Amino acid sequence: MKNTRLLKILVPAVIVLIAFAIIGQKAGWFGKAAAVKVAVENAEKRTITETITANGKIQPEKEVKITPDVSGEIVELTVKEGDHVEKGQLLIRIKPDVYISQKDRSMAAISSARARLAQAEAQFIQAELSFNRTKQLYSEETISKSEYEQAEASYSVAKAEVDAAKFSVVSAEASLKEANENLVKTSIYAPMTGTVSMLLVELGERVAGTGMMAGTEMLRVADLSRMEAQVEVNENDIPRVKLGDTATIEVDAYVDYKFRGVVTEIANSAKTTGVSADQVTNFDVKILVLPESYKDLTDKGTVHPLRPGMSATVEIRTETKSGVVTVPIQSVTTRTDTTKIVKTVSNEDIR
C-alpha cells in the first residue's frame, strides 16, 4: 500500500519537472550563454591618433660632470647640493702646496738654463774669434792644417753647446708653463650657470685627477630649467617614432598632471637586456618637456618642479588620420564564429 501511494506522488511530480524543463529551454531560461550587455552607438568619421607608450626617467637636457685635472686634498668647498651657481663661480679648491713647489723648481730650472746659455754663448764667441784667427793664419800658411782643424772643431762644439743651451731654456719654460697651469687647476670653477644637482665629495677628502683621463667625479651642475624624459622604446615600435613627434608625459610625482613634450633625439644604437630567449632590444628616445606645459606649477612657487631621476611614462603620438569611420571601444564585443559554409558539387563537376 505504501509503494502504491509513493508512485502516485512521484509520477505526477516527474511529469511536471519534465514539462517545466521543456518549456524553460524553449523560452531561453537556461541552456544558452548569458547575453553580453553592450552600448549601442552610431559609426561616425573621427580623427584617430596612433600612440606608443614607453617608460623612463626625467633628466636635465644639459648636465656637466666636474672632475679634477690634478690630485690632492679638498681644502675649500663653497657649495652644497641644490645651490644655484653662476658660470665662473669658485666651487672647490684643492690644496696647492705641491704645485707651488713645482712652480718654484721650474722657475729655478729656467734661471739655471739661462745661465748655462749665457755661458755657452760666451764660450762660442771666444771659439769663433779663435777660429777666425786660426783660419787667417792657415790661409797665410803660418800654421799647420791640424791646428786649423782643431780650431774648427772647437768652434763647432761651442756652436752646438749654444743650441743645446737654448733648447734647455725652452724645455724649462715649458715646465714652468705646465706648473702654472697645474697650480691654476687647483681652483675649480662652475663651467655653466645652473644648479648643483649632485655633490659627491666632502671637505678634506682626497681626489685623483690627471689631464689624460677622467679623475674623481666631484659634483654635477645642471640646467634644471630645461628637462627631458629619456625612455626606452621597443625595436618593433622605433621605426614609427620620428624627430618632432609630440608626446604626453606623466610623472609619478604629479598625479593626474600631464606635461607636453617633443621628441628631440633618437638613438642609433640599441640597448639589449636579458639573456638568450628573454632578450629585449630597446632604443633610447629623448623627449624635451616643454616649459610652458608646467608654467602653472612654477607660478605656485616651485622653481624647478621636475627633478632628475623622477619616473615618467610617455605617450608618443606617431601618426594621426582624419575621416576614419569609427565606433567607441565600449560598443565592440567578440563572439564565437558559428557560421558554417557548405559547398555543393553538381554531377557535372565530377569527372
Distance CA 148, CA 131 (A): 8
Distance CA 293, CA 312 (A): 15
The CA-atom distances, in angstroms, between 5 and each of 8, 16, 103, 279, 314 are: 5, 18, 127, 77, 79
Question: β-strands 187-189, 194-199: how paired?
Answer: unpaired
Q: Residue ranges per domain, the chain? A: 50-60+224-331, 63-94+188-222, 96-185
Q: What is the pLDDT of residues 11-65, one digit of tens each?
A: 666 676 776 667 666 655 555 555 666 667 777 778 888 899 999 999 999 999 9
CB-based burial label for 273 (10 Å; 0-12, 13-18, 19+): exposed
Q: Say what the pTM is.
A: 0.69
Cell representation of residue 259? 606635461
Which pairs with CB-CB distance under 8 Å and at least 24 residues apart come from 45-49?
45/323, 45/324, 45/325, 45/326, 46/324, 46/326, 47/320, 47/321, 47/322, 47/323, 47/324, 48/320, 48/321, 48/324, 48/326, 49/317, 49/319, 49/320
| Cell 610617455, located at residue | 314
Q: Which residues of 275-307 are buried (b: 16+ CB within 10 A; e: fewer)?
A: eeeeeeebbbbbbbbbeeebeebeeeeeebbbb
Per-residue pLDDT of the chain (351 residues; tens, 9 = 90+): 555 666 666 666 667 677 666 766 665 555 555 566 666 777 777 888 889 999 999 999 999 999 999 999 999 999 999 999 999 999 999 999 999 999 999 999 999 999 999 999 999 999 999 989 988 888 888 888 888 889 899 999 999 999 999 999 999 999 999 999 999 999 999 999 999 999 999 999 999 987 777 789 999 999 999 999 999 999 999 999 999 999 999 999 998 899 999 999 999 999 887 666 678 899 999 999 999 999 888 877 778 899 999 999 999 999 888 878 877 777 676 666 666 665 555 555 544
Closest alpha carbon to 238 in 265, 266, 263, 262: 266
Which fold would CATH assign to domain 63-94+188-222?
OB fold (Dihydrolipoamide Acetyltransferase, E2P) (2.40.50)
Domain 50-60+224-331 part of CATH 3.40.830.10: no
pLDDT confidence of residue 69: 92
Closest alpha carbon to 90 in 221, 226, 224: 221
